[in-house]
Amino acid sequence: MPAQPGESPLRSVGFRWLMLFRICTLLSYQVAAVTVGWHIYELTRDPWSLGLVGLAEVIPFFCVAPFSGYLVDHLPRRKLGAAACLGLAINAGALALIAHGALPTSALWPIYAAVAVGGVGRSFLGPVYNALFARVLKREQFGRGASMGSVVFQAGLVLGPALGGVLVGVAGKSVSYGVAAVFAVAAALALLRMRVTEPAQTLQRGPVFASIAQGMRFVASNQIMLGAMALDMFSVLLGGAVSMLPAFIKDILHQGPEALGVMRAAPAIGSICVAIWLTRHPLQRNAGRILLFAVAGFGLCTIAFALSRHYWLSVALLVAYGMCDGVSVVLRSTILQLVTPDDMRGRVSSINSIFISSSNELGAFYDGTMARLLGLVPAVMMGGFVTLGVVAATARLAPRLRKLDLRELH
Q: Which residues of the chain have a pLDDT value below 50? A: 1, 3-5, 202-204
Q: Are 64 and 123 in contact (CB under 8 A)?
A: yes
Would you say how long the chain is, in residues? 410
What is the predicted pLDDT for the residue at 17?
93
What is the predicted pLDDT for the residue at 22?
93
What is the predicted pLDDT for the residue at 165?
76
What is the predicted pLDDT for the residue at 246?
65
The radius of gyration of the chain from alpha carbons, rounded to an integer in Å, stands at 21
What number of other Cβ atoms are within 10 A of residue 112's Cβ? 18
What is the predicted pLDDT for the residue at 341?
78
3-state SS, residue 129: helix
Q: Are 221 and 363 in contact (CB under 8 A)?
A: no
Q: What angle do CA 347, 352, 357 make, to 5 degrees?
A: 125
pLDDT digit string, tens, across residues 246-281: 677 778 888 765 566 677 778 888 888 888 888 787
pLDDT digit string, tens, across residues 176-224: 999 999 999 999 999 999 887 766 554 445 566 676 677 778 777 778 8
Q: In 3D, which of 221, 268, 230 has the Cα closest to residue 352? A: 230
CATH superfamily of 11-194: MFS general substrate transporter like domains (1.20.1250.20)
Q: Are 302 and 384 in contact (CB under 8 A)?
A: yes
What is the predicted pLDDT for the residue at 151?
83
Instruction: Provide the residue type at 377 as one letter.
Output: V
Judge if 11-194 and 207-409 fold alike in CATH terms. Answer: yes
Domain residue ranges in the chain: 11-194, 207-409
What is the predicted pLDDT for the residue at 238?
74
Neighbouring residues of 83: CB distance < 8 A, sequence distance ≥ 6: 188
d(CA 50, CA 262): 21
d(CA 408, CA 410): 6
Angle, helix 47-74 to helix 345-357, in steps of 10 degrees: 170
- From the options 3.90.1150.10, 3.30.420.40, 1.20.1250.20, 3.30.1280.10, give the CATH code of 207-409: 1.20.1250.20
Q: Are 241 and 321 in contact (CB under 8 A)?
A: yes
Give, for 251, the enclosing helix (H) or strand (E). none
